[in-house]
Homo-oligomer: A and B are copies of this chain.
């Protein structure tokens, strides 16, 4: 099932909020630039998959949760690309926000997307404010300090790094948010779903390491070799390419085993299995096919 049209419609509705009011034009354009055309939208897709697997009784709230999570992810990309972090020129095949606009506009774009994430959840509270509050709480916790993506970036300024806390916060946090928030939006218990998100996050980290090590900039749409450059830990330098791919598949097996009982359990297992294929770098999939012939 593709959730892409549903995610894009909800994202654009969120961006249009308050558009009648006078707004600084560059910042408004930069928000659009940062959010579209978008990458794989993997986090909101996972979130909506979980909500669907739990029956999706409140689609409006699930949409808001998916949008808020994607806005938060986009905000983190804009700030991570800044000159004082990765100093990236290219993101998703087009100039980064600070290159297309300016550094002040990029800082404000990230900040504004964060505000819009929370505003979107608050607006969707409707008849169930308690559920909206639970979603806001998870999103804030998984984005901030000490357990969120801000903390993840913060670890990169430390000489002594708690590697497990670093990975959980840097990549895992928004995947844990995706599974927790999908369940909460559907009226289910959030914590039961954390492990699935954590496992998917680990697999994604390994996949990202593979892409960083194997791809060229044109294919990836962003600079490569960033881990080596910034001295960040990488599964490929630790395990080799084959070892890293095996590791990723093992993790996804664990992810499937962790799926809580729910009506759409089988669908979710299929989704996770499909991720294993998607996450394996294309070049490597081709190489495996040739080797198997």
Residues of A within 8 A of B (CB): 18-19, 21-28, 31, 75, 79, 82, 84-85, 101-105, 107-108, 110-112, 114-116, 118-119, 121-123, 125, 129-130, 132-134, 136-137, 139-141, 143-148, 150-151, 153-158, 162, 165
Nearest CB in chain B: distance from A169 CB, A: 9
Residues of B near A28 (CB, < 8 A) are 145-146, 154
List of 3 A-B pairs having minimum Cβ-Cβ separation, nearest first = A115-B144, A23-B146, A27-B154
Nearest CB in chain B: distance from A4 CB, A: 25
- In Å, the complex CA distance between A26 and B165 comes to 15
B18, B115, B146: which contacts A150 (Cβ < 8 A)? B115
Residues of B near A150 (CB, < 8 A) are 27, 108, 111-112, 115
Residues of B near A115 (CB, < 8 A) are 114, 140-141, 143-145, 148, 150
Residues of B near A108 (CB, < 8 A) are 79, 150, 153-154
Q: Are A145 and B116 in contact (CB under 8 A)?
A: yes
Q: Is the interface of A mostly helix, strand, loop or mixed?
A: helix
Q: List the number of copies, as a whole number.
A: 2
Residues of B near A105 (CB, < 8 A) are 154, 157
Q: Are A82 and B111 in contact (CB under 8 A)?
A: no
Q: List 12 A-B contacts (CB under 8 A).
A: A23-B145, A23-B165, A24-B151, A24-B155, A28-B145, A107-B107, A108-B154, A111-B111, A111-B144, A125-B129, A129-B132, A129-B133
Which of A21, A23, A24, A79 counts the most B-chain CB atoms under 10 A from its CB?
A: A24
Task: Return the chain B residue nearest A114 by Cβ.
Answer: B114
Nearest CB in chain B: distance from A63 CB, A: 17
B102, B122, B151, B162: which contacts A137 (Cβ < 8 A)? B122
Nearest CB in chain B: distance from A28 CB, A: 7
Q: Are A146 and B19 in contact (CB under 8 A)?
A: yes
Residues of B near A133 (CB, < 8 A) are 122, 125, 129, 132-133, 136
Nearest CB in chain B: distance from A123 CB, A: 7
- In Å, the complex CA distance between A209 and B121 comes to 37
Residues of B near A119 (CB, < 8 A) are 137, 140-141, 144
